[in-house]
Structures are given as structure tokens and as C-alpha cells.
Amino acid sequence: MTITGDVMEDFSQWFHSILEEAKIIDSRYPIKGMSVWLPKGFKIRKYVLRELERLMDKDHDEVLFPLLIPETELAKEGIHVKGFEEEVYWVTHGGMKELNEKLAIRPTSETAIYPMFSLWIRSHIDLPIKVYQTVNTMRYETKHTRPLIRVREITTFTESHTVHETYEQASQQVQDGIAIYKRLFDILAIPYLVHDRPSWDKFPGAEYTFAFDTLMRDGKTLQVGTVHNLGDTFAKTFDIKYEAADGDHRHPYQTCYGLSDRVIASLIAIHGDEKGLVLPPLVAPTQVTIIPIIFKDGAEDVLYKANEIKDILKDGGFRVSIDNRDLRAGKKYYDWELNGIPIRIDIGPRDLKNNKMIITRRDTFTKEECSLSEDIVSNLNSCLSKINTNLKEKAWNFMREHVVEIDSSDKIEEIVLNGNVGLIKWCGGYDCGKEIEDKTNLDILGVQGEAKGECINCNKNAKHTISIAKTY
Ligand code: PR8
């Protein structure tokens, strides 16, 4: 089998095909919107989470809350519950017995966590609190589900929740959350645009929402993370109070931010090609594969050397394997491409005689001869770092080339539907913004910056430059 569907022309088909062929997940599980993580996919997920946890653990504590939320708690925050009421799965029975109170399977954990915060927080000394957990959550999505992109069981929901004495501190935490996510996306070479979401698209219950959007190869954007300032709304609802230094009792201010399986979806979608996965070295399950080229003569020597190189690289900290299956080299190359292993080393009897090996990069397919007497570890390290830089540049260039300023309203649809994110000037009015969305059947992603001049729709004074796109 080969990958079907062109990355650009038929992205959806290509994406499904790569998930299946590269054995990332199996989406044949008999419930819509739920899939099985296969060993290779799970490893990529593990290495992504490792990077995220490394960043989070610097100033957050990891916790784990229960999966179920009593209906009374979920229902407390009016706007929040309204935002999720269509999407909640309910547990109504324990065995044959109907439960006294329905229990919600968490769609997100504000209403699980905040009642506990109200027990934990007594004094300003208890603040700030910064916790996170990686859990599965469930949302009965009504839009078209897509593996990893829009699922009903989000299997990799890393949600952070913080509590602060002042509004300013919470606002600063929003910026800190954004900085952490930027760092993660930079590590994964995923380009992003950060938007201040319009009021009608913020997280239910939040004062404001910043969202990370990335551009898929078909020109649609994907929201890959969000950071919310919750103000003191939830603190009031859940009766969270602290005694300040002056003896006053006050409600603290909160933030929350989250990422999901979409991070892994975009990692695969943004770097992959028609031949298969292309993975940033840091999260590749195998970083180097060694392919011994075996002929009758000298086979033992080649295998011996291949193993020696493997050991050196393993000791040097690489995830390395030898492909000594009894298969044609062509088939091994094919698998190397499909699996997105960043570096392939070929070594045959002639190379051995010349004291060299051939290194091929998955991202560019460029080959390089490398002397066996040189420092292999440092050579390959510098090769991996070049791969990372190249993936990052390529992905950012692609996105930047597709962010286009639009100065006239009748050009919006054409330009955006051609695979671009449009930058337009907007007055900031709610009705005007909704009108732009309705007319174009596109989504306003949010504010990018300030603007001078006229609103593209109503010609009043423009306040903001906003992005408009076709979204997932
Ligand atoms: C919060 N509360 O929940 P958010 N499939 C895959 N990924 C998804 C899906 C889905 N069905 N729905 C959302 N996401 C806040 C912050 C705790 C943490 C991803 O925020 O509703 C999206 O990338 O915005 C989204 O930005 C992220 O989860 C957080 O969800």
C-alpha cells in the first residue's frame, strides 16, 4: 500500500491515509470520534508530552482529578454550562440502578477542579496555584469528526488551571501560558498565529481568550491551543475566597489553558509529504536507522560495523535501530520514508573499505559521505539539528506566504478560499464582525494588531487588523 491523496490537493484523504499507513492510530474503533493509539503513534505522543511536561513542570504541579462531575457542579456556572450543554456525555446508571444524580463525563475540568480549589484556598499564602493534568475528556462534537483533529474522546487533553491574588497577576499568567505554548510549538517546528478571539468565540465563561492557530496544507486553519483569562467569574460561582494580607476576604482571579491531540495532528500534517511522515528529530520514535547493504562477500564485517555504529549512537543518546530484515534495500528505504525517520545510514562492503558511511536526510533526501574515523555522534547531532531548523523554516515560510492582506471586501472569499489566511481591517463592532462572517461564510480568527484606516465592511474607522480564514 502507498499513501493516497495529495498533501495539497486532497489533504483530508492524505491525512487519513498517512495515519493508517504509518500506523499512528486505528480509527476503525466502532464508536464515532474515537480511535486507538497504535504503538508508533503512542511513542510520538509520548515524546511530545515529554517536551510539554518539561516546560510545564518548571512552574506548575501535575495533578489528577476524577473523570466524573456531579450535575450540580457542572450546572453552577451558567455561561460555561451553556457553552457545553450540547456536548456533554452523561452517566446515568450504576449497573441497573439509576443514579440519584447524573454524572457528567468531563468535557474539560473547570467544574471538577474549582470546587476543590474553594476547599484548598484560605489565605493569600496559598496563592498562586498553578496545576495541570493530562487526561482524556469527552465532547459530543456535532461537527464532522476527524481523527486527532475533531474527536469525541480527546485522549491527550493537557489542561492547566491557575489562581492568583490579582487580576494583573492572572493577566501576566495568560502571557506566561502563551510563552510556554510558543516554546512547545517552536520545539515541534509548528508555525502559529496567536489571536485574541472575538467576543463571540471565546471560551464559555472566560473574559477573553487567546488562541493558537496553525495553517494546514489545504489552507484551512486549525486551532491548536487556547489560553483563557477567567477573571473572577468562576471564583464567585464556586465560592473561592482568600484572606488578603490586610485581612480582607476576596475572590481570586483565574486562568486556564489547554492543548489536545491536535498538536500531534498538526505535527504530522505540517511536516509530512507524499512519501509519509517527516518528523522533527526530538519526537521521532526512531531517529536513525542503519541499513547494512549485504552481499555474499564481507557480510559479517558490514554487520559487525553496523552494530558498532549503532552502539556508539545509542551511547550518544540517539534512538537508533538496524534494519537487518531479509528484505530488498528498496523496501527498507520505503519504510524509512513512510516512518519519517530523520536519518538513514547506509553502509556496505565498499563503504567499509573506504572507511565511510552514507547519511541520507529524510527531510531533503540529501546524501552525505561521512568518515568512520570522525566523531559520528557529533556529526549526527549536527545533522539532526539542521533537520530541525529546516523543518521549522519550511513550515514557517509556508504559513507566512499564505497570510495575505486584503483591502477590499469582494476579494475576501476568493483569496481565502485559495488557501490563505486573510488580514483585514475591522471596526471592532460585534454586528459588523458577525456580518463579515455571514457574508463570506468564513471565520474571524481574532485580532492580530491595531489598524488605521477604514473597516473593510462598514467603512467606519478601523480599530483592529484581524485574520479571517476557513477553519477546521
Ligand atoms: C478549554 N479548559 O477547554 P478549549 N478534538 C480535538 N481537540 C479539541 C477538541 C476536539 N473535539 N475540542 C477542543 N480541542 C479550557 C482550557 C481547560 C483548558 C482542543 O479550552 O475548549 C483545541 O485545540 O479551547 C482547543 O484549543 C483545546 O483543545 C482546549 O480546549
Per cent of the chain over pLDDT 70 is: 100
Q: Which amino acid would we find at residue 344? A: R
Return the ligand 1 atom nearest residue 161 CA. Answer: 17
Summarize the chain as % helix, strand, coil (round to 5): 40, 30, 35
Query: What are the start-end ranges of the E strands in 239-285?
Result: 242-243, 249-250, 253-259
Ligand 1 in reach of 224 Cβ (< 6 A): yes
Query: Which residue do the cell numbers 457545553 mark?
Result: 84
3 C-alpha to center of ligand 1: Å?
29
Quick one: angle between helices 39-56 and 167-187, nearest 10? Answer: 140
387 C-alpha to center of ligand 1: Å?
30
- Predicted confidence at residue 298, as pLDDT, reads 85
CA dihedral 193, 196, 198, 201 (to 10 degrees): 80
For ligand 1, mutation pick of 109, 157, 201, 257 (most atoms within 8 Å of CB)? 157
- Predicted confidence at residue 1, as pLDDT, reads 53
- For residue 47, the surrounding DSSP H or E stretch is helix 39-56
HSE of 444, CA atoms in CB hemisphere, 13 A:
30
Per cent of the chain over pLDDT 90 is: 96
Ligand 1 in reach of 255 Cβ (< 6 A): no
Ligand 1 in reach of 230 Cβ (< 6 A): no
98 C-alpha to center of ligand 1: Å?
31
The residue ranges of the chain whose pLDDT is under 70 are: 1
**Three-state SS sequence of 177-237:** HHHHHHHHHHHCCCCCEEEECCHHHCCCCCCEEEEEEEECCCCEEEEEEEEEEEECHHHHH
What does the mean pLDDT of the chain come to?
96
How many other CB atoms sit within 10 Å of the CB of residue 122?
Answer: 13
- Predicted confidence at residue 296, as pLDDT, reads 84
74 C-alpha to center of ligand 1: Å?
17
HSE of 402, CA atoms in CB hemisphere, 13 A:
26
Domains plus CATH for the chain?
11-271 (3.30.930.10), 286-385 (3.40.50.800), 403-471 (3.30.110.30)
What is the distance between the alpha carbons of residues 201 and 468, in angstroms, rounded to a whole number?
13
- Predicted confidence at residue 450, as pLDDT, reads 94
Give the residue from 58, 46, 114, 50 showing the smallest Cα distance to 81: 114
Q: Which amino acid would we find at residue 242? A: Y
- Predicted confidence at residue 3, as pLDDT, reads 75
Phi, psi of 299, deg, nearest 5:
-60, -45
